[in-house]
Amino acid sequence: MSQLVWDPEWETGYPAIDEQHRRLISEFNDFLDAVNRDFHAAHVANLIEFLLDFLDEHCEEEEFRMRATNYPRLAEHMAFHEHLRSTAKALANTSNKDHEVFTEEVTAFVLDWIERHVKVEDNLMAKHLIQHSKKESKSKLEARP
Ligand SMILES: [Fe+2]
Ligand SMILES: [Fe+2]
């Protein structure tokens, strides 16, 4: 299985969020690297633990930012996060299958997450967050005596 190469199209333009997405890809590549070298069930267990924790923390952080800025698509975005979390949990429950099949499935999950969620929903959210922080700094400047 070949490594995932960061595509500039995956960039949302909001640095704090992009940094986390990059971390997802880099941790995932470490997993591919490890299973390609030699397979240990521990690699799969580590990846599952990382993915579930990452999803919790990352989704919560995005949701916090969306709530704090009254993002109008919050409900839709949260529904996508819920779907990602339940898919990851379902994958975790089948992690004891043939490791090549598992690796393919988990790769498809990560790519789907990036292509269908990051490139679409996270992008819209990032545009809103950037817009919001521009407005904030403009009103702070205007409020100066
Ligand atoms: Fe995200
Ligand atoms: Fe998201």
Q: Where are the domains of the chain?
A: 13-140
Q: What is the Å distance from ligand 2's center to 115 Cα?
A: 12
Please report which confidence band the pLDDT of residue 76 belongs to, taking 50, 70 and 90 as the band edges: very high
CB 112 within 8 A of CB 120: no
Q: What is the mean pLDDT of residues 24-37?
A: 94
Residue 1 has pLDDT above 90, yes or no: no
Contacts by residues 25-29 (CB-CB < 8 Å, ≥ 24 positions apart): 25/110, 25/114, 27/54, 28/4, 28/107, 28/110, 29/3, 29/4
Q: What is the Å distance from ligand 1's center to 23 Cα?
A: 11
Q: What is the Å distance from ligand 1's center to 77 Cα?
A: 10
Q: Pull the structure tokens for residue 57.
A: 């923390």
CATH of domain 13-140: 1.20.120.50
Q: What is the Å distance from ligand 2's center to 37 Cα?
A: 32
> How much is the pLDDT for 141?
84
Q: What is the Å distance from ligand 1's center to 21 Cα?
A: 6
Ligand nearest to the CA of residue 125, numbered in listed order:
2
> How much is the pLDDT for 139?
83
Residue 145 has pLDDT above 80, yes or no: no
Q: What is the Å distance from ligand 2's center to 39 Cα?
A: 31
Q: Is the dihedral of CA 103, 109, 115, 121 positive or negative?
A: negative
> How much is the pLDDT for 102?
92
CB atoms within 10 A of CB 39: 13
> How much is the pLDDT for 48?
94
Q: Pull the structure tokens for residue 74.
A: 């919050």
CB atoms within 10 A of CB 61: 13
Short-list 4, 7, 12, CA closest to 118: 12
